């Protein structure tokens, strides 16, 4: 999916962002509250200052919203970051998640970061396949690490270091993972 790109997530994306965040699969794997309290999305967006935390809209060549991508806190001293993404239901199965994670990982390494992680629900094998395709290494399972709407769920910890990012021709396959957010 060579026409996919990341642009800063802004208030103009909020209607499409809210639709994506309301999707049952996104709710299942992210910390998006259900139901979402008034003003929550504005507070959530305010956390992303473009330096300590970054948020992007995933868009196609026509600037159609395909999902969103975020960084956890960027630890510039230790040169580490956690990355995540959620793909809109209508954009799933087209390689969007795989290309997004590649772009996010490229961004992290261009920022001079050394260790990039993706924490993925053990109940989300499609997203685990995405991490594996991009070249991430499964490190293990963090038990009860993620809090989703009052539940504690286990997360797989995946990581990648500079030089491990797959550099062969990027070939996306249908059915890749669609949701992984810190």
Give the three-state DSSP class for 79.
coil
What per-residue confidence (pLDDT) applies to 135?
95
What per-residue confidence (pLDDT) applies to 182?
52
Mean pLDDT of 126-136: 96
Q: What is the DSSP letter of 169?
A: P
What per-residue confidence (pLDDT) applies to 151?
84
User: Distance between CA atoms of 27 and 60, rounded to whole angstroms?
Assistant: 23
Determine if residue 79 is left, alpha or beta; phi over 0 gives left, psi from -120 to 50 gives alpha, anything else beta.
left
Sign of CA dihedral 171, 13, 69, 87: negative
11-31 confidence digits (pLDDT tens): 999 999 999 999 999 999 998
Please answer whether residues 56 and 6 qualify as being in contact, where contact means their C-beta atoms are separated by less than 8 angstroms. yes
Where in the chain are the domains? Answer: 5-180
User: Distance between CA atoms of 162 and 172, rounded to whole angstroms?
Assistant: 22
Architecture of domain 5-180: 3-Layer(aba) Sandwich (3.40)
């Amino acid at each position: 999916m060579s026409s996919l790109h990341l642009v800063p997530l802004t208030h103009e994306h909020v209607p499409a962002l809210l639709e994506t965040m309301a999707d049952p699969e996104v709710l299942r794997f992210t910390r998006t509250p259900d139901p979402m309290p008034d003003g929550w999305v504005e507070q959530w967006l305010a956390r992303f200052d473009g330096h300590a935390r970054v948020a992007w809209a995933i868009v196609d060549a026509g600037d159609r919203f395909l999902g969103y991508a975020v960084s956890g806190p960027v630890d510039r001293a230790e040169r580490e970051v956690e990355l995540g993404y959620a793909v809109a239901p209508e954009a799933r199965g087209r390689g969007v998640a795989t290309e997004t994670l590649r772009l996010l990982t490229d961004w992290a390494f261009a920022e001079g970061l050394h260790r990039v992680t993706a924490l993925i629900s053990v109940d989300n094998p499609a997203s685990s396949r995405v991490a594996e395709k991009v070249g991430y290494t499964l490190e293990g399972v963090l038990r009860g690490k993620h809090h989703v709407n009052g539940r504690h769920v286990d997360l797989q910890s995946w990581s990648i270091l500079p030089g491990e990012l797959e550099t062969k021709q990027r070939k996306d396959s249908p059915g890749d993972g669609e949701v992984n957010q810190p």
